[in-house]
Structures are given as C-alpha cells and as structure tokens.
Amino acid sequence: MRRAYTFLTLLLLSLGPLHAIEREKWQVVSTDVLAKVKPGYPGKTAGVAVDPATGDVFMCVPDQGLWKSADHGDTFARADKGEIGGRCETGFALNFDPAGKRLMCFMIYGSSGWTDDGGKSWHASKVSHLDFGAVDWNDSGKCFLAIVHEKGGQLTLSTDAGASWKDLDKGFTHVGIVNANVLLGSRGKGILRCDDGGRTWSSVSDITPAASVMRVRENVCYWPSEKGLLISKDEGKAWSILGKAQAGVVGPLWGKTASHMIVVAKDGFYETKDAGDSWKLAAKLPEGFSVGGVGPNYAWDPSADIFYASSMGKDTLRYQR
C-alpha cells in the first residue's frame, strides 16, 4: 500500500501543479511573422484583438503594422495596407466593435486608423500617439475619446471618425463614450460624467473602474472594477454591480449574447453565461502575463472558444479550450 502511494505521489510531482499543466496549453502563434520582419522597440509583438463577427485575429508588430489571421493564428498576412504604425502599449488600444467588422487602432509612435470592413480598407486618423480610446460603437461609431500618450492624462475627442480632434481636460486615467455629448472617465478615483461634449464633469460613482475603457452593448454600459462588473442602463448616470461580484481589469469580451461574457482578472479569464449570476475560471493567464496598465492585451473568439494574449516585447499566444 505504501509503495503504491509513493508511486502515485511521484507521478503527481512529475506532472507538476495542475495550473502549470494548463499553462502549457498556451501556444505561440507569432513565430512565422517575426521571422519575416524586424520589429521596432520593444521587439516581438504588442497587441491582439479578435473580430467578433468572423474570428479573424489581428496582431500588432511594433513598427511593422497590423497582421491578420483567418485561421485562428496558424498563418498571418499584413492587413493594414501600411496605414497603421508604431505599437500598442496598453489594453484596448485595439478597440473592436462588439458587433464585429469595425476596429479602431489607437497607436503610439506611429499612425492610428480604423477599418469598417474587417481590414479590407483603412482610414487614417489625423491625430495619433494615443494610449487607448473608447468608441461610440453603440451610436454612430464615429466618435473617439482617447488619452494622449505622455501628456498628463490629456483627453482628446473626435466626432468625425478621426478627421479632426479637440483636446479636453487633463488628469484622466480611464475613458468611456456613449455619444458625441455623453462622455465618461476617471481621474483615478470614482467615475465622472459629462453630457455637454467634455465641458463640465460631475461625479456619478465612488467606485473606481479598473478597465482603461468602458464598453457599451445594447445600450448598457459595462465597466470592470475590483468590486465587480459595473453596469449602467441610463447612459452612465447611475451604476450598480452586475450579478455576483467578480473583479476584472479587462473586458467584458462578449459571446453571441450580452449575457455570455468574459472578464480578465489578475489570475485569469472569468466567464459568465447568465449575465453575472455565476462566474467560473475559464483559463489562467499565460506565464509572465499580468493585467497591469501597460502591456497586456487579451482577446477571445467565442465561436472557436480560443483565448489570445499579447504584450509589449512578448510573443502572441493562443489557448484553445
């Protein structure tokens, strides 16, 4: 009996912790692209996003543009026609419409731009060097609210799809947009709201969001926080925690319905299929990845059930459940 127990113990020790086994499922998908081009600083890749309509994967290579895969990362081809430059430095620098097809790229040290047809054509933004930004996908899809890189939290707003921009207040750390007039943000404490295009702001919540960018689907605003997933059904005037409290820093990333979503927390991807009534850990973060303000990008293809991860100076990875 003792001998059998010893054998079982040795077998488990040789396999290592279960979370280590799970993390081995993360696979590098950027090797072939990086063999073809020489990335700019800080090397390798710097951003990933998935088109919710098609499952196409978009990967940023510093100073080498945006690369697209139609086969879940097995192969990539450059897709931005030379219109996208620089790199992504933060999560949601690549901001996809929850309905798919439309993507805005908020880039630093290079050109920003957007596509409304899944990467077939591109439109340049007059202003770039942007950390990240929100888009009014639920309204016109032409209003962008972004934070300018290394400008003291400078907000800048475009209401004409990047053709022109207007600088607003400084000191902001988080952004959200409902339409050209209703803007949301945080200066690192609570949530602020304005309904006059950025002229005057008032406090609407004491809870500070963790996600850099607020997202909107079906007229509901979503904003992950350490206290749970915040939602607002009145354009950001009042906020509450959705269902059972689940901390998150990135997201939500939606499935085919608004009740099916993923938020990324410090230890992994958490999933709900019942609008927050229950959550479960779907996958752990890959080794060496975090949810810090600078670097990590995460994406999810709900149809193929594949998670993706990228961060400045790291390979882009995928995890098939």
Residue 22 is predicted with a pLDDT of 53
Percent of the chain scoring above 90 in pLDDT: 90
Residue 93 is predicted with a pLDDT of 96
C-alpha 271: how far from chain center: 16
Question: For residue 15, what is the DSSP state?
Answer: H
**SS3 call for 297:** strand
Contacts of residue 284, defined as CB under 8 A and 6 or more positions apart, other chains included, come to 19, 22, 23, 267, 268, 269
- Check pLDDT > 70 for residue 21: no
Question: Domain limits of the chain?
Answer: 20-320
Residue 18 is predicted with a pLDDT of 42
Question: Measured between alpha carbons, how far is 86 from 245 in angstroms, rounded to an integer?
Answer: 37
Predicted confidence band at 57 (pLDDT cuts at 50, 70, 90)? very high
> Per the structure block, which two tokens stand in for 123?
């439109």
Digit-coded pLDDT (tens) for 157-166: 999 999 999 9
> Per the structure block, which two tokens stand in for 61?
């290579």
Digit-coded pLDDT (tens) for 278-308: 999 999 999 999 998 888 999 999 999 999 9
Residue 292 is predicted with a pLDDT of 86
Considering the chain, what is the average pLDDT of its residues?
93
CB atoms within 10 A of CB 248: 28
Which residue do the tokens 């032409």 mark? 142
CATH no., domain 20-320? 2.130.10.10
Percent of the chain scoring above 70 in pLDDT: 93
Digit-coded pLDDT (tens) for 89-108: 988 899 999 999 999 999 99
- Check pLDDT > 90 for residue 4: no
148/16: higher pLDDT:
148
- Check pLDDT > 80 for residue 310: yes
How far CA 304 is from CA of 42, 54, 88, 120, in Å, comes to 31, 10, 25, 22
Predicted confidence band at 13 (pLDDT cuts at 50, 70, 90)? very low
Cα angle: 76, vertex 124, 171; to 5 degrees = 105
pTM exceeds 0.85: yes
Residue 24 is predicted with a pLDDT of 60
Q: Which of 58, 55, 31, 54 is nearest to 44 (CA)?
A: 31
| 53-74 average pLDDT score | 97
C-alpha 279: how far from chain center: 20
Give 308's strand partners. Answer: 299, 318
How far CA 13 is from CA of 10, 17, 21, 22, 108, in Å, comes to 5, 8, 12, 15, 45
